[in-house]
Amino acid sequence: MEASDEQLMLAYAAGDATAFETLYARHKGGLYRFVLRGIKERGIAEELFQEIWVRVIEARQRYAPQARFTTWLYTIAHNRMVDHWRKRGLNVVPLARDDPDDPAPLEPAAEAAREPQRQAETNEQLERLGRALHALPPAQREAFLMREEGGLSLAEIATATGSNEEAVKSRLRYAVAKLREALDG
């Protein structure tokens, strides 16, 4: 039977480097896209991606399989991204912005995504979706990406982001609505 993520992480903490290789192979793609699509700048995203895994390596002795490994991994990722925004002088408050009555306005890029495109319909839609994703408020984008790339449940996203399920549900609903709006152009 295939070892679970939690078993692999415990095996790695006990000194089994091959367990880490399996774990890394399982999660590298999703986590990479989560960071890349959350940060936009590839160089910075790659630095953060590396830092997150270094944190995992350094914290291996403290890992407690009380929650899914994925929840723990994306909690570290969330914290690193918040640190990143802080360092860049961006207030982290917008990260928690999820008031359904006061959704953040779309950035100009997303507005532009609504304009007619000359490219083929599929490419045009994908381009619009990409832009709309980047234009989402960070907390909504993060919730969407954790769900899609990490496969996290609402409760797990709430745990990883220090929020609650209702807020996460609301963020997801608004994220999907805006992405849908961008697709429908």
62 makes contact with other proteins (CB under 8 A): yes
> Smallest distance, Å, CB 89 to other proteins?
20
Taking CB under 8 A as the criterion, the residue among 147, 163, 170, 171 binding other proteins is 147
Q: Considering only residues 117 through 146, tell me which ones interact with other proteins, judged by CB under 8 A.
A: 122, 125-126, 129-130, 133
Taking CB under 8 A as the criterion, the residue among 7, 26, 44, 63 binding other proteins is 63
CA distance 181 to 185: 6
Residue placing its CB nearer to other proteins in the complex, 55 or 114: 55
Taking CB under 8 A as the criterion, the residue among 12, 69, 74, 174 binding other proteins is 12
Q: Considering only residues 17 through 36, tell me which ones interact with other proteins, judged by CB under 8 A.
A: 17, 20-21, 24, 28-29, 32-33, 36
> Smallest distance, Å, CB 23 to other proteins?
9
